[in-house]
């Protein structure tokens, strides 16, 4: 089992001196990267503080008393930490602080924004693969980094007390993301939702009393996702490429376009995910990596041919996977070459395959949106509508049915 990391640091607050000119002495407890800070209700003249040694200088009674307190605090904290670890207790910086001071004697702790986000992110990272996807955790970490940059730029501080988080900060963060980070509107909204989750957490725990998002609304822009028509998909599938790396990327993309699997699910696809029903039909049955919803996808002829093609591929046998899938970055880079070689004037990415499956392979051929949702692993049809686009051909087909019915009625 991985051991918990622990550290205690003593420092003074030079930026905000007391009326007598002395600086408050603070203690920071850090456990596994998460920390809490508190004022130990002692002070010292800034000139008499040695930060390198975390103690007061000189032999005055005040310096000696402060140094004795710090030394005793260190010993007590280390003993408490070791006892909790030996007993197998769950250890956090806050629990250690409460053990040290006693639940009713702990001084008021100033909770800060970046500290709170870090604690939240640490918990999320522990749940990667269970409740969170890695990309979601990385978005929260980027949000924390951008907020820290803004606080440093706007306030000249490393962190900001939660009590100072208000509508002004929220609006400043939006402006900062759009101007300094050049984020598009929908990307900005994703980061704002990350921040709102933290402020909602603070409200729920009564760390703040007022919602800083009151009166602030954000509207996502509808993004029209590109997809390939069936003719374009077949053009790519039948195109001969001189380089093997391009051919592999083409085959992986085509497989995704005729199964609807997301990139990560194609990359993880293993022999146990292919099952045969009582009629001899082969299916992909695999939980989505992102949501854990089960995908039930009957294999068409084209993806079956691709699977047979790579059945003996060394990389597949070594990793026990069905396809030799490159990284997403290489896939997207090579897909641009494929689009140029096939004279397709669209921006190809790995995710275009999933949209193409929903639209051109399924809906354009009369598959109900309920069945498309099931194959894509969506929990509701509303999610599927984001992928599926209504085609002119399907509109014409449906209206021809109406025309035929009306003609019979008119006779």
Q: Look at residue 223 in the predicted model and tell me its pLDDT.
A: 63
Task: Tell me whether residue 223 is in a domain.
Answer: no
Q: Look at residue 390 in the predicted model and tell me its pLDDT.
A: 56
Task: Tell me whether residue 132 is in a domain.
Answer: yes
Is the Cβ–Cβ distance between 22 and 44 less than 8 Å? yes
Return the structure tokens found at 383: 């999610």
For the chain, residues with pLDDT lower than 50 are 1, 104-107
Q: Look at residue 105 in the predicted model and tell me its pLDDT.
A: 45
Is the Cβ–Cβ distance between 201 and 120 less than 8 Å? yes
What secondary structure does DSSP assign to 304-330, as a single string? HHHHHHTTT-HHHHHHT-SS----HHH
Phi and psi at 286, nearest 5°, equal -150, 135
Q: Which of 186, 204, 222 is the last residue of a domain?
A: 204
- Pair (67, 91) in one structural domain: yes
Question: What are the strands, taking DSSP E only, across 45-104?
Answer: 49-50, 55-56
Percent of the residues in the chain that have a pLDDT greater than 70, as a whole number: 92
Q: Give the integer Cα–Cα distance in Å for 349 and 54.
A: 54
Q: Look at residue 181 in the predicted model and tell me its pLDDT.
A: 93
Query: How does the average pLDDT of the chain come out, rounded?
Result: 87
Task: Give the Cβ contact number of residue 368 at 10 Å.
Answer: 11
* Biggest alpha carbon–alpha carbon distance for the chain: 111
Task: Tell me whether residue 402 is in a domain.
Answer: no
Q: Look at residue 375 in the predicted model and tell me its pLDDT.
A: 87
Pick from 261, 339, 270: nearest CA to 300: 261
Cβ density class 203-218: b for 16+ within 10 Å, e for less:
beeebbeebbbeeeee
Q: Look at residue 224 in the predicted model and tell me its pLDDT.
A: 66
CA angle 355, 359, 364 (to 5 degrees): 165
- Pair (309, 376) in one structural domain: yes
Q: Which of 101, 124, 150 is the last residue of a domain?
A: 101
- For the segment 295-344, what is each residue's pLDDT rounded down to a tens digit? 889 999 999 999 999 999 999 999 999 999 999 899 999 999 999 999 99
What single DSSP character describes residue 207? S
Return the structure tokens found at 314: 């060394």
Domain that holds residue 123: 113-204
- For the segment 161-199, what is each residue's pLDDT rounded down to a tens digit? 888 899 999 999 999 999 999 998 989 999 999 999 999
Task: Tell me whether residue 225 is in a domain.
Answer: no
Q: Give the integer Cα–Cα distance in Å for 49 and 22.
A: 10
- Pair (375, 237) in one structural domain: yes
Number of independent structural domains in the chain: 3
CATH number for 338: 1.10.443.10
Is the Cβ–Cβ distance between 277 and 297 less than 8 Å? no
Q: Look at residue 3 in the predicted model and tell me its pLDDT.
A: 65
Q: Give the integer Cα–Cα distance in Å for 248 and 245.
A: 5
User: Which positions ≥6 away from 152 have C-beta within 8 Å?
Assistant: 158
């Amino acid at each position: 089992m991985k051991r918990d990391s622990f550290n205690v640091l003593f420092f003074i607050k030079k930026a905000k001196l007391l009326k007598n000119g002395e600086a408050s002495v603070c203690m920071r407890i850090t456990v596994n990267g998460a920390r809490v800070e508190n004022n130990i209700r002692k002070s010292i003249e800034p000139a008499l503080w040695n930060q390198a040694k975390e103690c007061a200088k000189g032999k005055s009674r005040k310096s000696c008393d402060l140094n004795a307190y710090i030394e005793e605090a260190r010993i007590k904290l280390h003993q408490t930490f070791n006892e909790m670890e030996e007993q197998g207790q769950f250890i956090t910086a806050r629990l250690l602080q409460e053990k040290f001071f006693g639940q009713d004697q702990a001084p008021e702790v100033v909770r800060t924004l970046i500290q709170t986000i870090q604690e939240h992110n640490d918990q999320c990272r522990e749940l990667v693969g269970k409740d969170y996807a890695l990309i979601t955790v990385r978005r929260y970490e980027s949000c924390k980094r951008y907020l820290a940059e803004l606080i440093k730029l706007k306030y000249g501080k490393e962190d900001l007390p939660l009590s100072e988080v208000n509508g002004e900060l929220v609006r400043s963060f939006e402006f900062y993301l759009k101007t300094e980070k050049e984020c598009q509107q929908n990307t900005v909204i994703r980061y704002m939702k990350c921040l709102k989750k933290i402020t909602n957490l603070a409200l729920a725990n009564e760390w703040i009393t007022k919602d800083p998002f009151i009166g602030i609304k954000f509207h996502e822009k509808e993004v029209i996702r590109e997809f390939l028509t069936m003719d374009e998909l077949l053009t790519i599938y039948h195109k001969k490429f001189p380089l093997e790396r391009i051919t592999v990327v083409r085959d992986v993309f085509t497989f995704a376009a005729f199964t609807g699997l997301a990139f990560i699910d194609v990359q993880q696809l293993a022999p146990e995910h292919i099952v045969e029903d009582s009629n001899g039909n082969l299916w992909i049955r695999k939980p989505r990596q992102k949501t854990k919803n089960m995908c039930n996808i009957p294999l068409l002829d084209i993806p079956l041919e691709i699977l047979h093609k790579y059945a003996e591929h060394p990389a597949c046998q070594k990793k026990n996977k069905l396809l030799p899938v490159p990284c997403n970055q290489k896939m997207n880079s090579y897909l641009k070459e494929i689009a140029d070689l096939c004279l397709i004037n669209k921006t190809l990415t790995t995710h275009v395959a999933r949209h193409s499956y929903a639209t051109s392979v399924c809906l354009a051929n009369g598959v109900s949106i309920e069945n498309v949702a099931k194959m894509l692993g969506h929990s509701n049809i509303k999610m599927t509508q984001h992928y599926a686009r209504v085609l002119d051909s399907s509109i014409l087909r449906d209206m021809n049915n109406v025309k035929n019915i009306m003609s019979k009625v008119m006779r």
